[in-house]
A = this chain, B = another copy of it.
Amino acid sequence: MELQVSGGQLKRCPVHEFAFFNELAEDIHHMLRCVESDALDYTAAETIYHAGVSAQHLYLLHDGYVKLFKTSENGKNQIIRIVRAGEIFGFDGLVDVRYNHSAVPLKEASVCRIAVVNLNALGVFRPEVERLIMARCIRELQHADERLLELGAKRSQERLAGFLLSWCEATQVNKWTPLVLSRLEIAQFLGLTIETVSRLFAQWKRDGLVVEKRQAIQILDRSKMALLANN
């Protein structure tokens, strides 16, 4: 069953397949299978939702990356958060009528969405699910705190170094990490310009700190990178 809905490829979604819900007890897990949910596939061009639009769904990212961003009055985009597989986004609907930011995949992304009304219909099991969501939300808040420190108190090279370190965090040494962001997106994430990001990359490549190929990056000297990130 495939339907075209607001730019996403729609199909029935087995919510319980998501690692996210594995934290729940088995009976709740079972309960959740009865909840209606949709699976959607997006390409990089399609937006998942726009800021200001009616917020009716909570999203689970199954695969890929999604950028959440706000646009200022003068037209600049600030990327708020980069969602990775297994994470939730679009909390707004639980509290507010509209999304306060926009969501767009970095490349392709497959998500699962649950209507807020369905979440509310979970009955006695709802509290358990809400507790889970609350926990995720608090984690996001902590993450946002960290980013505020980055943007408010650090200079360009510290920001970029910090970003690259966290981006490559899970990758083993001497392995490539796919870099799905364009220079523009990195700049929008760090509150810098394309040129500044490009220049830092160029410098660090000359210094042998990082290497880059098509859509992948490798930090050759993490401790040196950590030095640049801190000071």
Chain A residues in contact with chain B, CB under 8 A?
Answer: 68, 70, 72-74, 76-78, 80, 91-92, 94-96, 100-101, 126-127, 130-131, 133-135, 137-142, 144-149, 151-154, 188, 190-191, 230-231
Contacts and interface: CB of A to CB of B under 8 A. Distances in A.
Given A134-B133, A140-B141, A153-B78, A146 B191 contact: no
A151 B151 contact: yes
Nearest to A151: B151
Contact of A148 (B130, B147, B154, B230): B147
Contacts of A153: 72, 76-78, 191
B100 A142 contact: yes
Nearest to A134: B134
6 contacts: A78-B149, A80-B148, A100-B146, A133-B134, A137-B138, A153-B191
A138 B95 contact: yes
Query: Could you say how many copies of this chain the assembly holds?
Result: 2
A135 B94 contact: yes
Contacts of A149: 70, 72, 78, 80
A80 to B, nearest CB: 5
Contacts of A140: 141
Given A80-B145, A130-B130, A134-B130, A152 B92 contact: no
B145 A101 contact: yes
A74 to B, nearest CB: 6
Contacts of A131: 127, 130
A138 B139 CA distance: 11
A231 B73 contact: yes
Nearest to A155: B74
A189 to B, nearest CB: 8
B142 A141 contact: no
Give me the 10 closest cross-chain CB pairs, A-B, nearest first.
Answer: A152-B191, A127-B127, A144-B144, A134-B134, A151-B151, A76-B153, A78-B152, A73-B230, A95-B138, A78-B153
